């Protein structure tokens, strides 16, 4: 067998779900684990930060970075991973686009501190903790603002099959070849191109299991979302909320694309969408607000304040 | 030692969560302070505000990718409580099957991937050896057994929840999909082997307990309060009342989730982004409680299922009730692993488990204040949302397993640090030979 490939797994502010999904390749672990040499992975191995700092630059072949980088420590680790790894992978939608925690950019950080430490049902008058802790940036910025990313592997989390495909290609030095289709391509539901009469919330009524959810009135962003998940939610009754981000080129504005795609797929007037959808920002940009056009403007505003 | 000294462990490894450890030693070599620094936070309570209530169960699971099912379900229960909605019985069975499957896979991964490397290689082995990849290399049969157990739980979640991590099928008023008969039959067909693997794990755990009895009964024995969900004295992870137990064993509170603010105290520590929870009537830090496996076993009289109850009885013969032995958490985890398996088996064989009557069609939002509580593998968690009359979420309070554990972790680390740095107690402990020597 070839020599094991040195690999590092880094984690910014995240939920561990991407790494759980990696573990969920199950028995294929018996093939993958012996082919890699773990140089850093805080959940699994006892290497400390100083170990990672001590390695030679680019001595690690592949690095996976889960999560976004909002604390000083996250940013340090992200840059360190970039220095030490030949190939750096943005692993999961937090790492690619800011992810769900990017929704915090809807608010000012002081308002965030208020509900967390100063005033909530069980907490009153706390001070923002600061001893032996890294500072927290005022907004979530995309990881690509800090370092160059070589490969984006989106998903919240990426599916085990996708992870296995990517890892196998990487370990054998092959390019990762991913199909560009949207979620609709994998969805078993039938579309009849009928206009929507009324926007429904997902708890309302009982949906027809064989027909497109969107055409029944339930907001579904499958038509503007990269289908690397193979339609796992829509084929089991729930609407797509876009957790894999936009299809390639993945730098496109997912939320803006969702709104215009709904118009052509549903079909539905953009004005009607904005009027009847309860929370457009939190629905169409749920996983990628920091990398969107609007989210960019929000970040710029904060940067201007800091200057 | 003549200098003051600060020891930093960064990051704390083989733990779910972002943490580092700061230990301060005085000139006299005495331990002055131990801090568990949880060094990140993402502000879910803030950005849940302004979302439609029914979207919270699709957002909140991202708090934790190891326990997304408990978050999904606590969130749905909070919405249903605020809107006064009761889902059909078959939906509740599916939810319970999903949370028991999560308990099963999580406890298996914790025992084999996070804890086992210590006793396989011994606590002083080289970091390159003391991890799960090394276990796979040296003890492939054990590793394959562990993977099969995790797979059983995770795949069972997936056929109910659409995704094993961050499921999407729960909805206020029920479930968006029912369990397919072919999926049920597949998992029923797996039960025999999985039961055998579960019982093998119990045997392995018992051997470890016997080998490390000296460590378990002497290191980090820390009396605290305990908190856990209880179904009239029976350990339950999906539904029940909340029990709080004093260090001497008395149950001092047993309350409905909606009344939690009377009992939950939340302390903002200066050195951690995760707050510390405590039993409010006792004050901080006296009332610091611990959650998680041992806490659940402490606050309850018995287990819900026969094999698990027998395992609990055996455990109590060794460590008593309440047990304050921090290392007994591993033992309690195995007792619960058995219960999770037995629940999965019972529910899979339930005649209603594939019922398609799993969702109400007439749910209406209304203004309200709802609390949802379930047990995550690492401890009790609570979601409390306020809804306006359009069903938009206006305020959220979340108390998750981490909050309920870290003050207690700090307390036990303080005791352990004193034992190690002041008394050098670890030098006189009886440790077994590692199972694998390298
Ligand atoms: S992308 Fe999703 S699963 Fe991965 S860390 Fe972020 S929230 Fe968790
Ligand atoms: S819009 Fe949604 S429900 Fe309709 S076909 Fe696309 S993925 Fe399926
Ligand atoms: S269907 Fe949509 S929400 Fe579900 S996993 Fe796929 S991309 Fe994510
Ligand atoms: Fe809180």
Is the per-residue pLDDT at B198 higher than 60? yes
What angle in degrees, to the nearest 10, is found between the helix axes of B292-299 and B328-348?
A: 80
| Residue A121: Cβ within 10 Å count | 18
Report the alpha-carbon distance of residue B119 to residue B139 in Å, rounded. 13
Average pLDDT over residues A181-204: 93
Residue A83 CB–ligand 1 contact under 6 Å: no
Which residues, in sequence order, are bridge partners of residue B84?
none
> From the CA of B347, how far away is ligand 2's center (Å)?
32
B123-127, B221-225, B278-282, B381-385, range with the lowest pLDDT: B123-127
Residue in B76, B35, B28, B25 with CA at minimum distance from that of residue B271? B35
pLDDT in tens, B344-371: 999 999 999 999 999 999 999 999 999 9
Residue B412: predicted pLDDT: 87
Q: How far is CA B345 from the centre of its chain?
A: 21
A45 → chain B, closest CA residue:
B131
What confidence tier does B15 reach under pLDDT thresholds 50, 70, 90?
low
Give the predicted TM-score (pTM) of the model: 0.97
Residue in B177, B288, B140 with CA at minimum distance from that of residue A234? B177
A229-238, B206-215, B365-374, range with the lowest pLDDT: B206-215
What confidence tier does B14 reach under pLDDT thresholds 50, 70, 90?
low
A8 within 8 A of A85, measured Cβ to Cβ: yes
Residue B65: predicted pLDDT: 95
Q: Residues 159 to 198 of A: which have CB under 8 A from any B CB?
A: none
pLDDT in tens, B48-65: 999 999 999 999 999 999
What confidence tier does B119 reach under pLDDT thresholds 50, 70, 90?
confident
Mutate to test the pocket of ligand 1, among A93, A102, A142, A153 (most ligand atoms within 8 A of CB): A93
Average pLDDT over residues B155-174: 98
Query: Which residue has better confidence, B21 or A185?
Result: A185
Residue A105: predicted pLDDT: 98
Is the per-residue pLDDT at B175 higher than 50? yes
Contacts of A207 in chain B (CB under 8 A): 176
What whole-number percentage of chain B has pLDDT above 70? 98
Q: Tell me whether residues A29 and B136 touch, CB distance under 8 A.
A: yes
Q: How far is B46 from chain A (nearest CA, A)?
A: 6
Report the alpha-carbon distance of residue A150 to residue A30 in Å, rounded. 27
Residue B56: predicted pLDDT: 98
Residue A221 CB–ligand 1 contact under 6 Å: no
pLDDT in tens, A243-287: 999 999 998 999 999 988 887 777 777 777 777 888 999 999 999
What confidence tier does B327 reach under pLDDT thresholds 50, 70, 90?
confident
Is the per-residue pLDDT at B17 higher than 80? no
pLDDT in tens, B386-431: 999 999 999 999 999 989 999 998 988 898 888 888 888 878 777 7
Residue B152: predicted pLDDT: 98
Q: Tell me whether residues B13 and A43 touch, CB distance under 8 A.
A: yes
Of A34, A47, A279, the CB nearest to B52: A279
Computed on alpha carbons and rounded to an integer, the radius of gyration of chain B in Å comes to 22
Q: Please enumerate in sequence order all residues whose Cβ is within 8 A of that of B435, keeping only pairs 6 or more positions apart, or say none.
A: B119, B120, B121, B139
Torsion of CA B159, A235, A257, A18, to 10 degrees: 20
Query: Which residue has better confidence, B155 or A306?
Result: B155
Average pLDDT for chain B: 93
Residue A225 CB–ligand 3 contact under 6 Å: yes
B385 → chain A, closest CA residue:
A121
Computed on alpha carbons and rounded to an integer, the radius of gyration of chain A in Å comes to 21
Is the per-residue pLDDT at A17 higher than 50? yes
Assigned token pair, B178: 């029912």
- Can you spell out the DSSP letters for B143-197? HHHHHHHHHHHHHHHHHHHSSSSS---EETTEESSPPPHHHHHHHHHHHHHHHHH
Contacts of A7 in chain B (CB under 8 A): none
pLDDT in tens, A24-78: 999 999 999 999 999 999 888 889 999 999 999 999 999 999 999 999 999 999 9
B415 within 8 A of B423, measured Cβ to Cβ: no
Measured CA to CA in angstroms, residue B158 lies from A7, B198, B425 at distances of 28, 21, 46
Please tell me whether residue B2 adopts helix, strand or coil conformation.
coil
The continuous run of DSSP H or E covering A52 comes out as helix A49-54
Q: How far is CA B415 from the centre of its chain?
A: 22
pLDDT in tens, A288-303: 999 999 999 999 999 9
> From the CA of A183, how far away is ligand 1's center (Å)?
19
Query: Which residue has better confidence, B399 or A3?
Result: B399
Contacts of A123 in chain B (CB under 8 A): 266, 268, 275
| Residue B24: Cβ within 10 Å count | 16
pLDDT in tens, A74-87: 999 999 999 999 99
Mutate to test the pocket of ligand 1, among A10, A15, A155, A291 (most ligand atoms within 8 A of CB): A15
With 0-12 / 13-18 / 19 or more C-beta atoms within 10 angstroms meaning exposed / middle / buried, residue A136 is buried
Residue B1: predicted pLDDT: 45
> From the CA of A231, how far away is ligand 1's center (Å)?
18
B18-22, B247-251, B325-329, range with the lowest pLDDT: B18-22
Q: What angle do CA B373, B378, B381 make, to 5 degrees?
A: 20
């Amino acid at each position: 067998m070839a020599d094991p490939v040195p690999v590092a797994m880094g984690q910014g502010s995240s939920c561990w779900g991407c790494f759980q999904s990696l573990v969920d390749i199950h028995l294929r672990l018996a093939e993958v684990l012996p082919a890699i040499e773990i140089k850093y992975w805080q959940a699994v191995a006892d290497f400390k930060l100083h170990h990672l700092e001590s390695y030679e630059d680019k001595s690690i072949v592949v690095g996976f970075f889960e999560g976004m980088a909002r604390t000083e420590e996250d940013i340090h680790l992200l840059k360190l991973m970039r220095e030490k790894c030949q190939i750096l992978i943005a692993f999961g939608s937090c790492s690619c686009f800011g992810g769900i925690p990017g929704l915090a950019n809807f608010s000012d950080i002081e308002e965030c501190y208020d509900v967390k430490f100063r005033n909530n049902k069980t907490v009153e008058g706390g001070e923002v903790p600061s001893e032996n802790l890294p500072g927290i940036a005022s907004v979530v910025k995309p990881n690509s603002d800090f370092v160059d990313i070589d490969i984006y592997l989106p998903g919240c989390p990426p599916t085990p099959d996708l992870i296995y495909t990517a890892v196998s290609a990487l370990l054998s030095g092959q390019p990762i070849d991913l199909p560009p289709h949207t979620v609709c391509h994998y969805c078993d539901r039938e579309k009849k191109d009928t206009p929507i009469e009324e926007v429904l919330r997902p708890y309302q009524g009982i949906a027809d299991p064989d027909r497109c959810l969107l055409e029944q009135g339930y907001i579904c962003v499958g038509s503007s979302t990269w289908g690397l998940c193979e339609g796992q939610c829509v084929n089991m009754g729930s609407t797509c909320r876009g957790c894999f981000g936009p299809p390639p080129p993945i730098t496109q504005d997912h939320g803006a694309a969702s709104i215009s795609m709904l118009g052509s797929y549903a079909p539905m007037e953009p004005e009607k969408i904005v009027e009847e959808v309860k929370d457009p920002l939190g629905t169409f940009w749920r996983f990628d607000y920091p990398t969107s056009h609007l989210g960019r403007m929000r970040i710029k505003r904060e940067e201007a304040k800091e200057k | 030692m003549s200098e003051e000294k600060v020891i930093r462990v960064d990051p704390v490894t083989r733990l779910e969560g972002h943490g580092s450890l700061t230990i301060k030693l005085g000139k006299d070599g005495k331990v002055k302070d131990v801090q568990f620094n949880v060094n990140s936070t993402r502000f879910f309570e803030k950005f849940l505000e302004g979302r439609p209530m029914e979207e919270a169960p699709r957002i909140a699971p991202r708090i934790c990718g190891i326990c997304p099912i408990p978050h999904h379900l606590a969130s749905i229960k909070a919405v249903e409580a605020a809107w006064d909605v009761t889902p059909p019985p078959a939906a509740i069975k599916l939810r319970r099957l999903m949370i028991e499957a999560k308990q099963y896979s999580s406890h298996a991964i914790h025992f084999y991937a996070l804890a086992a490397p210590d006793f396989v290689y011994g606590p002083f082995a080289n970091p390159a050896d003391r991890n799960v990849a090394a276990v796979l290399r040296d003890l492939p049969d054990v590793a394959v057994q562990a993977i099969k157990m995790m797979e059983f739980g995770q795949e069972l979640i997936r056929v109910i929840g659409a995704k094993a991590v961050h499921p999407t099928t729960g909805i206020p008023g029920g479930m968006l999909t029912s369990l397919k008969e072919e999926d049920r039959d597949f998992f029923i067909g797996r039960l025999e082997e999985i039961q055998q693997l579960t019982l093998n794990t119990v045997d392995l755990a018992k051997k470890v307990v016997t080998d490390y009895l000296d460590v378990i009964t002497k290191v980090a024995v820390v009396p605290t309060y305990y908190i856990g969900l209880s179904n009239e004295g029976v350990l339950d992870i999906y539904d029940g009342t909340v029990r709080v137990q004093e260090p001497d064993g008395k149950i001092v509170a047993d309350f409905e989730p909606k009344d939690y603010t009377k009992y939950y105290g939340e302390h903002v520590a200066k050195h951690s982004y995760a707050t510390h929870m405590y039993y409010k009537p006792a004050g901080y830090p006296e009332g610091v409680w611990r959650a998680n496996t041992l806490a659940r076993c402490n606050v309850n009289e018995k287990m819900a299922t026969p094999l698990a109850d027998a395992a609990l009885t055996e455990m109590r013969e060794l460590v008593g009730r309440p047990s304050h032995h921090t290392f007994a958490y591993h033992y309690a985890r195995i007792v619960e692993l058995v219960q999770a398996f037995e629940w999965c088996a019972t529910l899979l064989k339930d005649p209603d488990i594939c019922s398609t009557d799993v969702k109400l069609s007439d749910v209406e939002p209304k203004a309200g204040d709802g609390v949802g509580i379930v047990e995550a593998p690492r401890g009790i968690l609570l979601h409390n949302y306020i809804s306006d009359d359009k069903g938009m979420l206006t305020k959220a309070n979340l108390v998750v397993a981490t909050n309920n554990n870290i003050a207690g972790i700090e307390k036990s680390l303080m005791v352990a640090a004193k034992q190690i740095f002041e008394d050098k107690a670890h030098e006189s402990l009886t440790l077994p030979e590692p199972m694998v020597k390298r």
